[in-house]
Chain A
Amino acid sequence: KNEVEQSPQNLTAQEGEFITINCSYSVGISALHWLQQHPGGGIVSLFMLSSGKKKHGRLIATINIQEKHSSLHITASHPRDSAVYICAVSGSARQLTFGSGTQLTVLP
């Protein structure tokens, strides 16, 4: 079993829809990262959080430490949000463990 599980693997939405991507992890962590990877490989760090909730523009990230679960929400989705969204956790071994990513496609 992977230490970091993301769902769904693929998600197609219509422009304007509210989107949720989920991440579950099985190890103790010190922080959880949400990353965005566009075609071509470049990765951008969206959020780093260890508790509660963070908001940046149309993006919201939440984490529940007790349930070992995090969600990334995108409100009023837009085609430019199309990308791979990756969840990664920083554990006790000081490594980052990555999920396999969620491919999001937002159709106009």
Chain B
Amino acid sequence: EAGVAQSPRYKIIEKRQSVAFWCNPISGHATLYWYQQILGQGPKLLIQFQNNGVVDDSQLPKDRFSAERLKGVDSTLKIQPAKLEDSAVYLCASSLIFIRRRGEGNSPLHFGNGTRLTVT
């Protein structure tokens, strides 16, 4: 099966500019995640979609970050305006479905290759 597709692979912008990232999850995957990974740290969840609805965006800096998944398939993440501290790898991941049941695990995650953003 095709994996999670992300573009662009790299992006360099100046501070206060805008940038958008695109993610196409694995076909049929209902859950889509956007993560921010700063160098040397584990990924941090920015937003989680279930189909076209937002499940969790509590850590999304909403004054500058926005994300949408209008048709419940692909998604875009936008930063406007960018700051120096936004330099990071932005990872998209998808899973078939997120089920929390006692004694059962959740669906495996599939990650894209990420977009490396450098803000100068």
By a beta-carbon cutoff of 8 Å, the part of chain A in contact with chain B is 4, 30-31, 33, 35, 40-45, 48-51, 86, 88, 90, 92-96, 98-101
Contact = CB atoms under 8 A, between A and B. Distances in A.
B42 A100 contact: yes
Given A31-B106, A49-B105, A90-B106, A41 B89 contact: yes
A88 B45 CA distance: 12
A33 B42 contact: no
Contact of B103 (A50, A90, A99): A50
Contact of A45 (B101, B111, B113): B111
B42 A41 contact: no
Contacts of A42: 111-114
A45 B104 contact: no
B82 to A, nearest CB: 19
Interface of B is mostly: loop
B103 A33 contact: no
Nearest to A30: B100
A50 B104 contact: yes
B114 A45 contact: no
Given A42-B111, A95-B48, A31 B105 contact: yes
Given A45-B110, A100-B42, A101-B42, A94 B105 contact: no
Contacts of A101: 41-42
B109 A45 contact: yes
Contacts of A90: 100, 105-106
Interface in B2-57: 33, 37, 40-45, 48, 55-56
9 contacts: A31-B104, A35-B111, A41-B91, A41-B113, A45-B110, A98-B44, A100-B40, A100-B41, A101-B42
A95 B56 contact: yes
B7 to A, nearest CB: 13
